[in-house]
Structure 1
Amino acid sequence: MLPLAAQQTIGVGTNSACTVVKKYYALRQKATGSADLIRGADVPVIPQNRKFRAPLKTQDPLFTRITVAASVSMAVELPGGYVVKIEKGDLVDSRGREVSGNYTLYFRDISSPWNMALSGVPMNYDSGGTIGYFQSSGMFELYAEQNGEALQVKRGQTIDIVLPSPDGSDDYNFYTFNESSGAWEFEKKLFPGLSTMKTPDSIQVYSEAYRYLQLLSLSTDFMSFHERWLSPKYARTKNITETDFFCLEKQYYGRIGVAYFRLQRTSDKYNRKAILFKFPVVSRNKYSGNIFSTFPELNAVRNVVWEYKGPIDRKSFSKLFVSKKKYFDTRIDYDNSSGLFTIYLKHKDGVIELNAIPYRGKNTYGERALKANVLLAERYNKSLARVQRKFDRRNHDAALVLLNENKERVKSMMSEEELAMGWTEWERYARRVQNYYNTIAMQGRVVQITRTVSVSGLGLVNCDRIQRMQEPVELLAQFVLPDGKIVDTAHVMVIGSDYTCLNMDVKHGKVRPVIERRIATAFGVVINDEDFYIVDASQVAKSLNRSGLQVFSLKKVEGDAAEAISLALSI
Structure 2
Amino acid sequence: MQPKFNIDRPKVSDDEINKHKDFDNLVKQFKEQSITKARSDKSWWKNNYIKYAAVIAGVTVICTVTYTALFNKSTKEIASNDKTTTLKDQNTKNTKSTKFINEPFEKIKVNNTSYKVDNSKGAEIKHPTGSKIKIPKSSFVNKAGEEIKGEVEILYREIHDQAEIIASGIPMRYDSAGKEFTFESAGMFEITGSQNGEPVFIKHDKPLTVEFNSTQTEDRFNQYLLDTVAKNWSYIKRDNPVLPPQQQPPNPAEAKQELKKLEQKYLPAIAAIPKRIDSVKVVYTKKIEKLEKPSQPIKPNKSAGRPQFELDVDYKEFPELSAFKNAVFEIGSESTNYKPEMKDITWSSAEIEEGPIKGKNYILVLKLRQRVEKLVVYPVLSGNDFADASKKYEEKFEKYKTLQTKRLADEAKLKAEMEAKQAAYMAQQKKLDEEYIREKIRIENQKNAEVNASISSGGFANIISRVFTISNFGIYNSDCPRPGGTLLMNPQYVDGSTPLSPHTVYLIETERNIVYNLSNGASMRINNNTKYTMCLLSGRGVYTVSKDDFESAVASKELKFKTTKLGEEITDLYSLKKAIGIGS
TM-score class, shorter: 0.3 to 0.5
User: By percentage of residues, which structure has more strand?
Assistant: 1
Question: TM-score w.r.t. structure 2 length?
Answer: 0.46
User: By percentage of residues, which structure has more helix?
Assistant: 2
